[in-house]
Structure 1
Amino acid sequence: MITHPMQSKQRPLIPTRAIESFADAIKTAIEDGHNGIQVQGRARDGKTRATIYLEKHPSWLDEPTHMFRITMLRRKNHSDTSFYKVIQLQVGLVQHHQSSAANRIQQIVDCIIGECIAMGCHRSILFIDEAQQLSDDDFEYLTNLDNAMTEDGYELFCVFIHQTDDAKAEKRRKLSKLVEQLPPHVTGRYFLAEHVFSGLRGISDLQHALDQYDSRLRFEGKSFTEYFAGQAFSKGWRLASHAKDFVTAISNIRKRSQLKGPADLSMKIFAVAVYRLLVRVAPDNPSFSGFDEKLIEQVLLDSGYLALEKARQRQVAA
């Protein structure tokens, strides 16, 4: 029996307004001639999901481009060989543990250029998740890769994705006065373009995201919404019609719990809530015609909304 994608562990990714804005920011930075862009965003807002989506759907770019991702680990050793080893391991390269930094650089560059040649392109985009873990020296190490690529006629564009509510990393960054201490050639390459990645903001963002289940995502000839709530769908009901209910429910929770700060809905909570509503609630009710505001509020709570928001506030206050 074929399992519906919503019932699998790896549920489908959807293009949100935040992802579209993210893609546009990268394209603009490349067109402006920058070597990188600094992206700020909170935990669970969908930054990693966004990079995966952009990798899998390269049509947002105007020309063939190689793309790959790494996650920067917390590490005590900030030597050049340690930095290059992190990249090697995550792109599947194996080298002797005593290899020099120069050898590691060459192997990484050869791998990237090989992928570019196979794709018939001259640019590679490197997404660096958890970029708040980078030290000032790490940016210098990246310039070595950039220089080696340039010498061979290829470009390396870096997307630095920072988790802004990682209190420990942010404190380290402030203490070291990272940006102020970086030399001009590093600042000029990587710190002239910025972007803020957000969760789902307001009715428009939510309506756009919910509509993906009504129209874009399909299984066995039916949209996801139609598959799980066929009768209501045939009578004109759409999941996107509840965008305002989501906004109202979030507002009620935040007021009642005295939550401060941005009211964006994280993609993590959104994905869980939609799963619960479509897969668990709608099919179990033969007379289903839509969700009410109170139900959506309860589903958001059951999906972990309040726990995540309180954790965010604790981190920021730490």
Structure 2
Amino acid sequence: MNASWQPFPVAFFFMDYGKPEKATENYFSATFLETAGMRTIRHATGAESMMRACNLLMERTRDLCQEAIAVVINEANRFTSFEHDHLVTLDNLLERRKKRAFFILIYQNDAEWGGQQAIDHRPPTQVTGRFYSMAHQFTGLLWGNANAIDFQGCDVTMAFNEYDEGVIFPDDETGVPCTAYFARNAYMNGYRLTSQVGLFREVVEDLRVKNHLPAIAPFPMQSFERFVYFLLVRIAGEDPNFRQFNREQALKALLWAGYIELELSKHAVVPDDTHR
């Protein structure tokens, strides 16, 4: 892993959190251990399991010759008061060993049935002070200037450029950028996905307006990746005479990607049942 971009000597530990029936210390610590491929001890006490999780994180910093550790927990929106208490326990164990830990809790604000759950629904002050001192709101890919290829001010253009120049396929010494692989002849003649950002934007805006949505909105990564997949693999990759995409193909890819269903679900009206 290339760590040259890091301004501080920090080791990263990534884990996904489940949704247990009982959020015990054993379940919480087992998630850390199993993520690292370690065996859990069935009859260990909660305190013993938490200490093993602490030792794991200590070893991670030592193995990577780092001074601090960043614990990145995905699906932290599933946390209850019990998980926050376990996090406090783990933080205390690390602190007593003079190890600095940073906890990065990733919340999916649209992950719950029956409405949104937001990071603003925070736990008590002691927990908030430790783990919620800073928040960053992620968006989809933002559009920039509608009339120019803007690699700095347009997230969508930058994302397309990754397929044109950055992401290599296949992932070996024979690999080339994705656009070059699936649209080889067109690429050799100068074609790039970024050259058609204007067309893609028009198709997206037209589709949104037809479905009574605001014309401009961030492009969700979930549907963007599927959109590009369909364009490159299912259209360009299957046409040896491909030169560039037309409006019909762009719309077909957008619909196949489930773009409009995802956007409509975010704007769905929740029935008011307070009087039932």
TM-score, with length taken from structure 1: 0.72
Preserved contact between residue 201 and residue 264 of structure 1 (Cα < 8 Å): yes
* Residue 139, structure 1, aligned to residue 81, structure 2: no
Corresponding letter in the other structure for 2:34: L
- Relative to structure 1, the CA distance from residue 205 to residue 138 in structure 2 (aligned partners, 3 Å threshold; closer, same or farther) is same
Which residue is equivalent to 2:28? 83
Other structure's SS at 1:274 match: helix
Distance (whole Å) between structure 1 residues aligned to residue 114 and residue 50 of structure 2: 26
Q: 5+ residue gaps in structure 1?
A: 1-55
* Residue 155, structure 1, aligned to residue 100, structure 2: yes
Which residue is equivalent to 1:290? 244
Preserved contact between residue 72 and residue 133 of structure 1 (Cα < 8 Å): yes
**Count of residue pairs brought into register by the alignment:** 258
Which residue is equivalent to 2:162? 212
Other structure's SS at 2:140 match: coil
Deviations 1:142-193 (A, max 9, x none): 121112112222222111111111234866779xx952x51x3311111120
Matches within 5 A, 1:256-267: 256-259=210-213, 263-267=217-221
Distance (whole Å) between structure 1 residues aligned to residue 175 and residue 238 of structure 2: 22
Corresponding letter in the other structure for 1:254: R
TM-score, with length taken from structure 2: 0.82
- Relative to structure 1, the CA distance from residue 100 to residue 172 in structure 2 (aligned partners, 3 Å threshold; closer, same or farther) is farther
1:96 pairs, out of 41, 66, 89, with 41
**CA RMSD across the alignment:** 2.7
Other structure's SS at 1:188 match: helix
Deviations 1:256-288 (A, max 9, x none): 122369822222221122122112212333432
Which residue is equivalent to 2:6? 61
Higher mean displacement: 71-80 or 259-268: 259-268
Which residue is equivalent to 1:252? 206
1:193 pairs, out of 111, 121, 134, with 134
- State the Cα distance separating 1:298 from its structure 2 match: 1.5
Higher relative contact order (CA 8 A, sep 6+): 1
Deviations 1:288-314 (A, max 9, x none): 221123321221101221232233444
Distance (whole Å) between structure 2 residues aligned to residue 213 and residue 144 of structure 1: 44
Higher mean displacement: 275-284 or 209-218: 275-284
Q: 5+ residue gaps in structure 2?
A: 145-153, 272-276
- State the Cα distance separating 1:76 from its structure 2 match: 2.9
Distance (whole Å) between structure 2 residues aligned to residue 199 and residue 244 of structure 1: 18
What percent of counterpart residues are identical? 25
More helix by share: 1
Other structure's SS at 2:136 match: strand
Distance (whole Å) between structure 2 residues aligned to residue 74 and residue 146 of structure 1: 21
Preserved contact between residue 276 and residue 299 of structure 1 (Cα < 8 Å): yes
Deviations 1:69-88 (A, max 9, x none): 22222223133333323333
Other structure's SS at 2:15 match: strand
2:180 pairs, out of 209, 226, 233, with 226
Which residue is equivalent to 2:192? 238
- Relative to structure 1, the CA distance from residue 82 to residue 227 in structure 2 (aligned partners, 3 Å threshold; closer, same or farther) is closer
